[in-house]
Structure 1
Amino acid sequence: MSDFRFSRMAVLRRSKAMVSPRQLRAQAAFWLAAVAIGVVSAGFALMADFAQESFERLTGGGWRRFLPLIVTPVGFMLCAWAAFRFVPGSQGSGIPQAMAARALRDLPGRGNYLSIRIVVGKIVLTVAGLFCGASIGREGPTVQIGASIMMAAGKVADLATMRGLILAGSAAGIAAAFNTPIAGIVFAIEEMGRSFQARTNGVVLLTVILGGLSSLMILGNYTYFGVSLASAGIHDAWLVVLCGLIGGLAGATFTKIVLAVTRRLRRWRDPVPARKVLIVAGVAGLIVAVSGVLAGGSTWGTGYTQARLAIEGTAPDAGFFAGKFVATLASTLSGIPGGLFAPSLSVGAGLGAGIAQIFGGSVALAAVLGMAGYFAGVTQSPLTTIVIIVEMTGNHMIIGPVMVAAMIGFALARVISSEALYATQARFFVADALRLHRAAQQVQAEAAARRG
């Protein structure tokens, strides 16, 4: 009888704790943040599409096709300067910043990479970059946006599991951006998590579900690149291997160039940092503009249209792969906010289509396989690559060939470049945060010594 009374009291205490004001506030903040990620992601997608369409209308036909030679470099410089001056920490994809924030734990520098200010700045400047013709995407930025919203909710609700919330917000960002819930979960495990704790599972799953549903209600049910009808047989094995090898080689080359140039730019000391920012952005913008003019405008923006046509069987122009590769490389190094996911998938689709045109085979199948090999080579995250491509194309019949191409691309990329792109960039952001933290501590110590 005493045991029964004891267990009943324990249940009552647990029930009271679950409905305490603090718990109710925490749950409300979490649910609202998860829904907000989906809503913000959907609004971001609509604004990004509008910006890209506006740029296409502005530069379409006649003498206007040369306008980017002025608009793009100037726009790049304005975006890079605004990010440097008003929203530091918003540059680039956003995925490395979210990873760095998880590594920083309780260091004050975490807030420099994840905040509501970052959310606003990331959206505005990424949309502005697309309006200038930058070869960027909104998917990586949505990861930083989702993580920022979840961290803000954690602060409001006084939640202790910040690292888990960042992970959940990042996964929901990918899921909402691509309408790929499974890929969001896999991304959290493979790229963001690296060590996925059991207690985080439910948080990630619930956040992905709520964020995905709220985005779905606004944008509707869709597959990002339409529906691929490509099929593969044993006679296509050579194409799978070739796309994996060439894709992995190209993806690893992209990563090595980005990291090598980034290290050189970080070592470049300039007494006026803003001047360096403007020079780099201006040169990158000019490269993007020239590559776009030479390619007839196909390399500007996300590359969504070209990738979708390729996986439907219509190959892009012969120079699309090289032009898009260069434009994406310049945009990544420019210092403006913007992601790599959509442009990289577009580059991969162009590469695969080019392989099919040169060596024969199905353009539609090769485009999907090229996406798998190249994207796995860039990110060195084969599981995320496999799931995200299968979900985005709606074709589960070629999951086997996609897996093989992605694993070949990943293996070759690891041989060529032992450094993963996002993880290495995250270390750069961690180093910057630690350096600023130590400088602030030194200033405080010197001030205390003067007062003493």
Structure 2
Amino acid sequence: MNDPAHGKNLSEAAPRRRRAVDRISIVARRHGPTSPVWRKRAAILSGAVALGLLALLFAAGADHASDLFLAFARRWPWAPLIVTPAAFALLAWLTRRIAPDARGSGIPQIMAARLDPEAAMGSLASARTAIVKFGLTLSALLAGASVGREGPTVQISATIMAYAHRLFRVPVTASVMVAGGAAGVAAAFNTPLAGVTFAIEELASAYEQKMTMLVMTAVLISGMVSLGLAGDYVYFGAMIDVLTVRQALPLVPVAGILGGLAGGLFSKLMLAFATSDAPLLAALRRRPVALAAGAGLVVALVGCATGMTWGTSYEPARLIITGASAPWWFGPAKFCATLATAVSGLPGGIFAPSLAVGAGLGDLLRLAFPAMGLGAVALLGMTGYFTGVVRAPLTAVVIISEATASRGLLLPLLATALIADWVAGLVSRERLYHGLSRAFMGKAEKG
């Protein structure tokens, strides 16, 4: 005999089981391994690890390329007068021919890429551009160009992060570009805090709250990769000099004003070469290969005459910071070599060369303040000039503080940076990277 109540219970149990299965399926779709949140986490993790590894490879390659050129210049001291201009012309031609968006620093490209990140992956942040940027930046160092790898690392890292998100089918947003670029700065200098401040001050004109976790995560992971493989190194070596309040009061304004004037002048000249409608400058831009050859000749003449301005000039800068003295002309000579390289259009950044120019400026300041800690005076000169160029005072202070372990000088460094930023604004109203990014805006919007 059939039990009606039992049949009713069975008929009600089936829909309940179906509803439970449906709820489990919904939860799995939302929170399981294939869910958007897990795909986003996988994209951030894989992108940050990849860019951290590539930043270390880039650093090693850049050092090796610089060493090879220095050995070449020591063996044949006057050969760069022929080789360097020819190499500049060739690299400028290759850049224009293969990947025009690989020219210059790379930071302006990523600032422009934020307008339409998906479209930018076809030009400003494409795999082709990143590969060319990597190879030709190393080639520029192999030719003696006064370039750094930090700006190119920003562009390459942002591209890697964007492709990681595309691989895991996660939308590529402005936050992704900013996070990749910030992680690139952190990995290039082994300065995690500088990556965060750079994202706030330069890459993201309006720093959105929702970017915070993405930027922090990318910087943390890339920093851990760099730390795990390269060790806990300090970029320029530890500097232990300090300044008393009485010593800092006269030194800080002088370093800030001189650094702001010199850095602002560099930015003004760079922007004039890039954007001015003056007939001579416009004519030079229409002949990029000839301009590069002429710039290469300037770099070669300065390098052969001094022997200290090739490449990043990392070693002279490090020696100045640690107390060694340099010829008074080192800072001005490096300024000329860096400006000539920058206007040539070769792929390569200005971070490391600008730090070297700043160290040379600091060495000049030591002549006026001989009783103070030599390293401390040099660091204030470096901070003033670097801030004057990039107009990002917080980033400048954090990079230099982390790169020299000079936390005891934070307040003098910050005061110098703020003064330099104000003075540089009087010399050049437009910030360097923002002005240069305008040339790439159309490509970011069109793809």
Return the TM-score normalized by structure 2.
Answer: 0.90
Structure 2 residue aligned with 1:114, among 112, 125, 135? 125
- Asked if structure 2 preserves the Cα contact closer than 8 Å seen for 1:22 and 1:157, the reply is no
Amino acid at match of 1:19: G
In structure 2, the gaps of 5 or more residues are 1-18
- Quote how far apart the aligned CAs of 1:234 are: 2.2
User: 2:59 maps to which residue?
Assistant: 45
The farther-off stretch of 37-46 and 301-310 is: 301-310
SS in 1 for 2:184: helix
Pair 1:187-2:198 in alignment? yes
How far apart are the structure 1 equivalents of 2:145 and 2:282? Answer: 26
Distance of 1:191 and 1:170 partners within structure 2: 10
Q: Is the 8 A contact 1:229 1:312 kept in 2?
A: no
Aligned to 1:77: 89
Residue equivalent to 2:153: 142
> Is contact 2:365–2:377 with CA below 8 Å preserved after alignment?
yes
1:389 alignment counterpart? 400
Q: Which consecutive residues of structure 1, in runs of 5 or more, have no partner in the other structure? A: 1-5, 441-452
Partner Cα separation in structure 2 for residue 404 and residue 242 of structure 1: 11
Counterparts of 1:409 and 1:11, CA distance in 2: 59
Letter in 1 for 2:179: A
Code of the residue aligned with 2:336 in structure 1: it is: V
Quick check: 1:245–1:409 contact (8 Å CA) kept in 2?
yes
Equivalent residues of 1:79, 1:125 under 8 A apart? yes
Q: CA deviation at 1:417?
A: 1.4
Distance 1:269 1:406, change over 3 A: closer
| Cα deviations by residue, 1:91-122 (Å, 9 ceiling, x for unpaired) | 1110000000002345x355211022122111
Q: CA deviation at 1:26?
A: 4.0
Instruction: Say yes or no: does 1:299 pair with 2:303.
Output: no
1: CA distance, partners of 2:172 / 2:200: 17
Q: Residues 349 and 366 of structure 1 are in contact (CA less than 8 Å); yes or no, is this contact kept in structure 2? A: no
Letter in 1 for 2:267: T
Q: Deviations over 1:410-434 (max 9, x none)?
A: 0111122110000111112114556
Coordinate RMSD, CA, aligned: 2.3
Aligned to 1:158, which of 157, 169, 177?
169
Find the residue that maps to 2:88 and give its secondary structure: helix
Question: Which residue does the alignment assign to 1:449?
Answer: none
Whether the 8 Å contact between 1:154 and 1:162 is mirrored in structure 2 is no
Q: Deviations over 1:151-182 (max 9, x none)?
A: 11122222224211101100000000000001
Distance 2:134 2:227 in 1: 19
**2-structure distance, mates of 1:347, 1:427:** 26
Distance in 1 between residues matched to 2:295 and 2:271, nearest whole Å = 16
SS, match of residue 336 in structure 1: coil
Could you tell me which residue of structure 1 aligns to residue 245 of structure 2? 234
Q: SS of the counterpart of 1:194?
A: coil
SS at match of 1:198: coil
5 Å-filtered alignment, 1:53-64, equals 53-61=67-75, 64=76
Instruction: Name the CA shift for 1:265/1:328 in 2 (closer, same or farther; >3 Å).
Output: farther
Give 1 or 2 for the bigger CA radius of gyration: 2
Q: Give me the TM-score of the superposition, normalised by structure 1.
A: 0.89
Once the 2 structures are TM-superposed, how far is the Cα of residue 266 of structure 1 from its aligned partner? Answer: 9.7
| Correspondence for 2:98 | 86
Residue 20 (structure 1) shift: 4.8
Q: Give the SS at the match of 1:196.
A: coil
Pair 1:28-2:39 in alignment? no
- Aligned AA (2:352): A
Aligned to 2:340: 330
Give me the whole-angstrom Cα distance separating, in 2, the residues matched to 1:222 and 1:265.
45
Distance of 2:402 and 2:343 partners within structure 1? 29
What is the distance in 1 between the residues matched to 2:43 and 2:414? 39
Aligned to 1:309: 319
Q: Kindly provide the amino acid, as one letter, of the partner of residue 21 in structure 1.
A: T
Deviation at 1:28, TM superposition (A): 2.6
Fraction of identical pairs, as percent: 40
Q: How far apart in 2 are the matches of 1:344 and 1:20?
A: 46
Residue 320 (structure 2) pairs with residue 320 (structure 1): no
